Amino acid sequence: MEIASDKADEAKQVTSKKGGLKTMPFIIANEILEKVAGYGLLPNMIFYLIGKYHFNAASGANVLFLWSATSNFTPVLGAFISDSFLGRFRTIGFTSVISLLGMILLWLTALLRDARPPPCDPRSKPCEFPTSAQLLFLYSSFSIMSIGAGGIRSCSIAFGADQIDNPDNPRNGRILRTFFNWYYASVGVSIMIAVTVIVVIQNSYGWVIGFGVPAGLMYISVVSFFLGSSLYVKVKADKSLFTGLAQTAVAAWKKRHLELPSTDHDAIYYHHKGSKVTKPSAQLRFLNKACLFNNPEKDLDSNGLAIDPWRLCTVKQVEVLKALIRVLPIWSTGIVIGVTISQNSFPALQANTLDRRILFGISIPAASFGVFGLLTLTLWIGIYDRIIVPLASRLTNRPHGLTFKERMGIGLLISSVAMFVSAAVEHKRRTEAIREGFAENPNGVLKMSAKWIVPQHCLIGLAEAFNAIGQINFYYSKFPKSMASIAVALLTLGMAVGNLVASLIVTILDRLSKGSRDGTWLSTNVNKGHYDYYYWILGGLSVINFFYYLACAWAYEGGEERKVWDEDELEDDQKSHRGSPMIIRA
């Protein structure tokens, strides 16, 4: 039956003068500069922690894994705040300023001599460990930057999609898919700049300038974002979003003893007037009790609204919760690939021992080899979007090329291969180091070319191109527009858990292997360690995860089409019947 109009009917319209491609330079500039600044700090950080704070390799890697985990977890909080309270515009603006403050703090750790332990040569005497105050200062900078990154990274891509998403356009789905691909490519380009230019600046001019430049870029990022304020479509926050999820779960629990009718024809479900979502789906049927009327005369007030929203919810609320629950198994398969993608510290230590003259005798910094993965990712996105998709469309009658689930699965398989290649190359590198007499000298440069480690980085980049973009498109197709930030945050949440798992693996392997004949596998002296064993273990976990994904993908029911939720119909209805649309200012 139809119920009185939802409160959401009052808003969410913008004029055609707002949004569009003219907003992209400001939004993408904010994202790109934040990525250049933020990611430019990560590749070389293991050397900063070992050289200036006297960490060992395992503890330094753990700090960076935890920093990455925090930076990938905070987008969940950012999405919550954005979608439920502030809106995406305000969230990006506030957290951009916060991120800038964190970078200034990190710059001060290099600028202020008392912020670090005194310099020393570990080969001549034991080095002093940092004091609690020094560690607090360092960790505070990491934490504040993570908070800032949480708001920007959870909202930027969704905020960009707000500017061009137009359900009236029959090509809207294709436009959004292209936007996602090229937005991700632009991010890849920015990170390539970060891991090359910023790293070179740090290596050539020291940490003070090396940390100061990212802080300056972040300042420009903040300014560029606010310059476009008057042009943006600003979707109003849905304050009932997370409350609605909780209400649905509570209502279903309270009515758990209520019997569901044998058929939907015998049931009366609660939905708002004009809603397309009028009957709940058959999946997770026990949740349907939350929107089932017990007694319409007692369940509704005089306005036709639920008297107790914690006992009676709309069909839409039930379906949103179902959509979230149903994607969780597939989401969980992104955890292990999060472990493999986040391998930055150890490859940098390994590359530091190799002959890094790759092109025309130019030596590439050890921390910059991740650029090959990013280059692969960026090139593949362009090739896939412009060549493979049109070709596959003609051959298979699939307008989108590979399905989202196929892309995710291919990415997982490639990540497994990447770890096995890493293990084989590291075995060769360590053998060569011992043969050349560098077993006790981790700073010695081998005759072995660093070209050997390029394929593993390329494979990781290709795996991310398939899996990460597949995840973003998959989640976006399953949730309403108001949950776009949550859809993107699911990807970063998987990466966050992956970082935590990576830290746990490092801790366990370091402790268990310390009693071995050669000492810990993850020694600061990479020539004495056994990083090849570490990569073999990651490869094995990746294979297991791939088969787990196959089971989850097989069990998931549903196609690739983006589901139309009420707000899409709401916009159409408002455009048709409300005259001049109004601008919603966040």
Per-residue pLDDT of the chain (586 residues; tens, 9 = 90+): 444 344 444 334 444 567 777 787 888 788 788 888 888 898 999 999 998 999 989 999 999 999 999 988 888 888 778 877 888 888 999 999 999 999 999 999 999 999 999 988 766 677 888 999 999 999 999 999 999 988 887 788 778 888 876 666 666 667 777 777 777 677 767 888 888 899 999 999 999 999 999 999 999 989 988 988 888 888 777 655 677 788 889 999 988 888 887 765 656 888 877 777 778 887 888 888 888 887 777 788 777 788 888 888 888 888 888 888 888 999 999 999 999 998 888 999 999 999 998 877 788 999 999 889 888 988 888 888 788 878 877 777 776 678 888 899 999 999 999 999 999 999 999 999 999 988 888 888 899 999 999 999 999 999 998 998 888 888 888 887 666 656 767 887 898 999 999 999 999 999 998 877 778 899 888 998 899 999 999 999 999 999 999 999 988 876 555 565 655 444 433 333 322 222 222 3
Q: What does DSSP say about strands 362-363 and 357-359: parallel, antiparallel, or unpaired?
A: antiparallel
Which of 124, 109, 132, 123 lies closest to 52 in space, CA to CA? Answer: 109
At 581 the pLDDT is 28
306 and 398: one domain?
Answer: no
**Inside any domain, residue 56:** yes
160 and 261: one domain?
Answer: no
Helix ranges restricted to H, 443-483: 454-478
> How many structural domains compose the chain?
2
Whole-number Å distance between alpha carbons of 117 and 133 = 11
At 335 the pLDDT is 94
> Is 2 within 8 Å of 271 (Cβ atoms)?
yes
Q: What is the CATH number of the domain that holds 210?
A: 1.20.1250.20
> Is 235 within 8 Å of 482 (Cβ atoms)?
yes
The range of the structural domain enclosing residue 276 comes to 241-323
- 138-178, pLDDT tens digit by residue? 999 999 999 998 888 778 877 888 887 666 666 666 777 77
**Inside any domain, residue 200:** yes
**Inside any domain, residue 575:** no
**pTM, entire model:** 0.80
Whole-number Å distance between alpha carbons of 25 and 225 = 9
At 66 the pLDDT is 94
Helix ranges restricted to H, 194-333: 199-205, 207-227, 241-254, 296-299, 315-332
- 311-340, pLDDT tens digit by residue? 888 888 888 888 888 889 999 999 999 999
102 and 220: one domain?
Answer: yes
197 and 247: one domain?
Answer: no
Which of 299, 322, 319 lies closest to 309 in space, CA to CA? Answer: 299
Q: What b-and-e string marks burial along 200-239, b requiring 16 or more CB atoms within 10 Å of the CB?
A: bbbbeeebeebbbbbbebbbebbebbeebeebbbbbebbe
Whole-number Å distance between alpha carbons of 491 and 314 = 28
391 and 272: one domain?
Answer: no
3-class SS string, 106-149: HHHHHHCHHHCCCCCCCCCCCCCCCCHHHHHHHHHHHHHHHHHH
233 and 245: one domain?
Answer: no
Whole-number Å distance between alpha carbons of 496 and 491 = 9
407 and 389: one domain?
Answer: yes
**Inside any domain, residue 37:** yes
Whose tokens are 């801790």? That residue is 507
277 and 378: one domain?
Answer: no
